[in-house]
Structure 1
Amino acid sequence: MAEEVASRRSSDRISSLPINAIDDILTRLPLRDAVRTSILSRKWRYDWVKITKLTLDESLWKDLPTHEVRVKLGRILLHLFSFRQGPIRECRISIPNSKYLPELDNLIFFLSRNEIESLFLELPNGEKYKLPSSVFTSPKMRQLTLEYCVINLPTTFRAFGQLLSLRLFNVSISEEHLEILISRCSLVEDVELDISNPLSYIQFNAPNLKFLNIGSKIISICFKNTPLLADVSIMAESLNHGPVESLDVNRDFVERGTCDLREFFGSLPAIKNLRLDHFIIKTLIAGIDEIPTTLPMPLLNLTKIYLFDLCLTGLEEIRFLLCLIKSSPNLEEIVIIIQAINNERGDDRTSLELLKAEYDSGIKLNRLTNVSLIDIRGTKTEMKFIKLLLAKSPVLEKMMISPFYIGPESPQTLVEILMQINTFQRASLRAIVNFNF
C-alpha cells in the first residue's frame, strides 16, 4: 500500500511539472528517449511531438544491421509527418551510410516547412548528398552546417535574411554560387569553408562578417565589404586536400588586380587575429609588383599573426613578414611555423642585409609579448630574425623556440642555436627564451 501511494506521488510530481520544464527535458534527450517518455504520464503522452529540437544521430542506429537502419529511419519520418505539432527550431542529422540519402529529401522538405532555424547535417564519406532546393526556402534559418553535400543554388533563391552562421565542410559548390550564397546572407557573422573543389577567385561581400575560416585551396581572394571582419584564417594545407606545392604560384599564375597585397589588408580595417598558410602568402606576394616597406593604412587592431609553413630564407617572404609586422603597431603575439623544405635552399644575402638594416634602424615592437618559432634550423636568416625580435621588443615576456629535429647530429646543432641566442641583446628584462626540444 505504501509503495502504491509513493508511486502515485511520483507520478503526480511528473505530471505537475510546468510545460517549459517538460520541453527543456525533452529537447535534451535523443529522439528515441523523448518518444519513450510518453509512458511516464498521460500529460506527457503527446508532448514529444511538440519538441522544438530534434536529434537524429548515431544513438538511433547504433548496433543496427544495415537493412534495419532504413526501416527505422522510415518509421521515424512517418511518426514525424503524422504526429508532428508546432515549429521545429533546430535539427541535427547524422546518418551512417549514403544508401539512406533518398529519405533525407522528404525530411529536409518537411523541416523547411516547419520554421527550421538551425540545421546541422552530418553525412558519411563517399557519395555526396545533392542538397534539395527546399533548404533555401527556409526564411528563418539562422545556423546552417552542411557536410559532404553538393550545393546548386536554385534560381528562385533570394536570401537567407536571418542567417548568422554558415559552415560548409567537404562541400562541392561553384565559385559563382558560393559568392551569391554569402552575399545574400546580409547578417552572417561566422563563415567556415572547406570546399572540395579548388577555388580560383572569390569575393566576400558580407557587411556583418566577423569570423572567417577558409580551409580550401584558393588562388585569389577579395574582401569587398567586410568592415567588421576581425578573425581571418586561410589555411588550405591544414585540411586534407593534398599538397598545394604542385601549383606554381608566380606573377602570371595570379590574375592581376585580384589578389593585391595592399588591397587585401586595406579591406580589413578591423582585423585582430590573422592566420595564413604559405600558399595564400605566395599569392599575395605574386599579386603585387613590389612589396612595400609598410602598408598604406596601418593595421591598428591586429594583435596576433599566425603564419604556417613560411620560408624564412626567401627575400620576398622576409619582406612580406617585415611589412606585416611594421604595419601592426599593436601586435602582441607572433607564431611562425617554418617551412623546412624550402629553408634548405640556403640564406639569401639580400634578406640578411634587409634584417641587418632593420636591426640598425629605430623600429620598436612596443606591444609584442609572445613569440613562437617552430621548426627552427639555425640558418643565418632565422638567427638574425630572432636577434631582431629580442632587440626591438621592450615588453617581450616569452619567446618559445622549437628546433627542427633532423637526426643523430641534431643535439649538437641545438646546443649551438641555444648558445648563440643566449648571446643576443634583449630589450626586455622580463624576456624568457624557452627551448622546446
Structure 2
Amino acid sequence: MQQHYYNMEHHPPTRTRKLKSDFISTLPQNIIEDILTRIPLQEALRTSVLSKKWRHTWRGMPKLVFTDNMVNHLRIQLNKYKLISAIFHVLLFHNGPTIVEFRCSVGELHMESEFAQILSVLARGNTVKEFIFISDNRSNKLPVSFFALQGLEHVHLENCTLEPPLTFNGVSSLTVMNFQNVEVSAQVLQHFISKCPLLQSFILIEVGKGIESVPAGGNNFTLVDLFQCVPLLEGFGITKHYMKYLCAGGMPHKLPASLVHLSYLFLHVCLVEQNEISSALCIIRSSPVLGRIVFLMDNNDKSPVQQTPANFLDPEGYPDLNLDHLEMLEIHNYSNLPLEMEFVKLIIAKSPELEEVRIRLNSNVSADEERKMLKEMLLLPFPRASPSAKLIIVSP
C-alpha cells in the first residue's frame, strides 16, 4: 500500500488560514444555475444560506422538479398540501426569464384540481420550454390551462387523458412530444399534431389500450394521415395498440410524401399481421435517410396462423427499398420464426452502410434454436449489402 506523509513544519496547528475571498460568491451565474439544476429542489432552496449572493439565486432556476417522493406518504393528505404549498411558493418567487424544464410527478397524491391552478400560474408567464407530467391515474384529465402554455418545445405526458378545448390552436414551437399511456381519441390526436407544425420527434407508447378500438365502419385516421401532419419528423416511435388502430384497413405501397427527415424509427409490430408488416415496410420504403431502426416483435410465436406468404419478404421483390443510410438495426423479443428471419435478411440485403445488427432473443428461444439461427445468419449464403456489419445476439 502506498503511503503519503505530509510535512506540517511550516503550518502551526494553532493558526487557521483565512480565505482571501468568498469563492462560491464569485462563480459565474451560468455555473451557479447549472449546479442548482443538478441537485434536488429542496437542496437548491437551502443554498440561500451559503452567501448573500446565493440568497436569491434559486429564484432564477431554469429547471423545477416536483415529485410525490418529496413528501412522506404516511400522511398523504397532509403532505399533499405541503407539496402544493411548496410548488406555489417556488412559482411565486421565481423570477427567471425562462423555466427550461417543469416536471411534476404526483403519483398517489391525486392533486388534479390543485394542478390546474399550478398550470394557470405557469401559463401567465408563458416561459416553460419543457413540460413533464407523470400521474398514476390514466383518467386524470389534463386541465384546460395546460393548453395555454404556448412557449412549449418539449412535452412528456404519462398516465393522463388529453382533451383540448375547441379553441385550441396548437403549439407553434413544439418540437418533441412523448405520450405514454395517454388516453386520446383519434380525432383529438389528429387535431393536436396538425396544430404543431415544427414537430420533429413523436413517440406513442402504451401498456394497455392505446387509442380506441377500431370502429366497425373503418378507421378515419391512419398512419398516412398522421405522417401528413408532421412533415419535419426526424424521430418516430409507436407501440402495439396505436399501431393496430392506425394501420387498420391497410397501407399504400408508399406514402404520398416521403419522410425526408426521418432518421430514427421504433415500431412495435406483429409480423404475422398483414396490415402491420405492410405498414412497417411502407414507412421504411418512404424514409430515405433512416439511420437506425428498432423493432419490438409482438409475440409472433403465439399467433395461430401465419397470414403472410413465405416468399413475401424476398429481397428481389423490393427493388425500390433502399436503406442507403441505415447503420443500426435492433430487434427485441425475437422468436426466431422463419418470417422474422426473412425480415432481418431483407433489411441486411438493402443496407450498404449497415454497421451493426443487434438481436435480443425471446425467452422461449432454446440454446439449440439460437445455434441454428447463428449458423443460418453467419454461414449460409444470402445477399448482404454490407458484409462487414457486426451481428450481436443477446440471450435473455
- Shorter-chain TM band: 0.7 to 0.9
2:37 corresponds to 1:37: no
Task: Measure the CA separation in 1 of the matches of 2:306 and 2:24.
Answer: 77
Match of 2:71 in 1: 96
Provide structure 2 residue ranges, at least 5 long, that are not aligned to the other structure: 1-11
Residues 301 and 165 of structure 1: is their aligned pair in 2 closer, same or farther, counting only changes over 3 Å? Answer: closer
Residues 22 and 91 of structure 1: is their aligned pair in 2 closer, same or farther, counting only changes over 3 Å? Answer: same
- Kept in 1: contact 2:293–2:330 (CA 8 A): yes
- Kept in 1: contact 2:178–2:203 (CA 8 A): no
- Kept in 1: contact 2:300–2:335 (CA 8 A): no
Task: Measure the CA separation in 2 of the matches of 1:127 and 1:49.
Answer: 31
2:239 corresponds to 1:233: no
Match of 2:57 in 1: 51
Residues 354 and 226 of structure 1: is their aligned pair in 2 closer, same or farther, counting only changes over 3 Å? Answer: farther
2:174 corresponds to 1:175: no
Deviation, structure 1 residue 293: 0.8
Matches within 5 A, 1:350-369: 350-356=308-314, 359-365=316-322, 366-369=324-327
Residues 264 and 35 of structure 1: is their aligned pair in 2 closer, same or farther, counting only changes over 3 Å? Answer: closer
Match of 2:261 in 1: 301
Task: Measure the CA separation in 2 of the matches of 1:123 and 1:225.
Answer: 27
Secondary structure at the residue paired with 1:175? Answer: coil
Report the count of equivalent residues: 358
Within the candidate set 392, 396, 417, 2:354 is matched to: 396
Residues 101 and 253 of structure 1: is their aligned pair in 2 closer, same or farther, counting only changes over 3 Å? Answer: farther
Paired AA for residue 50 in structure 1? H
- Kept in 1: contact 2:157–2:180 (CA 8 A): yes
2:255 corresponds to 1:332: no
- Kept in 2: contact 1:401–1:434 (CA 8 A): yes
Residues 124 and 370 of structure 1: is their aligned pair in 2 closer, same or farther, counting only changes over 3 Å? Answer: closer
Task: Measure the CA separation in 1 of the matches of 2:214 and 2:331.
Answer: 27
Pairwise CA RMSD: 3.8
For each residue in 1:100-122, what CA deviation from the matched residue of structure 2 results, as whole angstroms up to 9, or x when unmatched? Answer: 23245555445247546426454
Task: Measure the CA separation in 2 of the matches of 1:158 and 1:15.
Answer: 44
Secondary structure at the residue paired with 2:336? Answer: coil
Match of 1:160 in 2: 149
Residues 25 and 414 of structure 1: is their aligned pair in 2 closer, same or farther, counting only changes over 3 Å? Answer: closer
Matches within 5 A, 1:335-346: 335-340=294-299, 343-346=302-305
Secondary structure at the residue paired with 1:317? Answer: helix
Deviation, structure 1 residue 92: 3.9
Task: Measure the CA separation in 2 of the matches of 1:319 and 1:5.
Answer: 80
Within the candidate set 272, 276, 291, 1:317 is matched to: 276
Give percent identity, aligned residues only. Answer: 19
Task: Measure the CA separation in 1 of the matches of 2:273 and 2:128.
Answer: 47
Deviation, structure 1 residue 367: 2.6
Secondary structure at the residue paired with 1:387? Answer: helix
Paired AA for residue 187 in structure 1? S
2:47 corresponds to 1:24: no
Task: Measure the CA separation in 2 of the matches of 1:31 and 1:368.
Answer: 44
For each residue in 1:209-230, what CA deviation from the matched residue of structure 2 results, as whole angstroms up to 9, or x when unmatched? Answer: xxxxxxxxxxx77631444322
Match of 2:364 in 1: 406
Within the candidate set 343, 358, 361, 1:385 is matched to: 343
- Kept in 2: contact 1:234–1:275 (CA 8 A): yes
Deviation, structure 1 residue 144: 3.9
Task: Measure the CA separation in 1 of the matches of 2:302 and 2:155.
Answer: 38
Paired AA for residue 313 in structure 1? V
TM-score (norm 2): 0.74
For each residue in 1:224-278, what CA deviation from the matched residue of structure 2 results, as whole angstroms up to 9, or x when unmatched? Answer: 14443222211113xxxxx339x98435286x42x22221112222222221112
Q: List, as ranges, runs of 4+ consecutive aligned residues in structure 1 with deviation greater than 6 Å.
A: 2-5
Deviation, structure 1 residue 292: 0.7
2:108 corresponds to 1:126: yes
Secondary structure at the residue paired with 2:193? Answer: strand
Deviation, structure 1 residue 362: 2.2
- Kept in 2: contact 1:271–1:299 (CA 8 A): yes
Task: Measure the CA separation in 2 of the matches of 1:138 and 1:375.
Answer: 46
Residues 385 and 113 of structure 1: is their aligned pair in 2 closer, same or farther, counting only changes over 3 Å? Answer: same
Deviation, structure 1 residue 436: 2.7
Task: Measure the CA separation in 2 of the matches of 1:291 and 1:165.
Answer: 30
Match of 1:223 in 2: 193
Match of 1:250 in 2: 214
Match of 1:283 in 2: 245
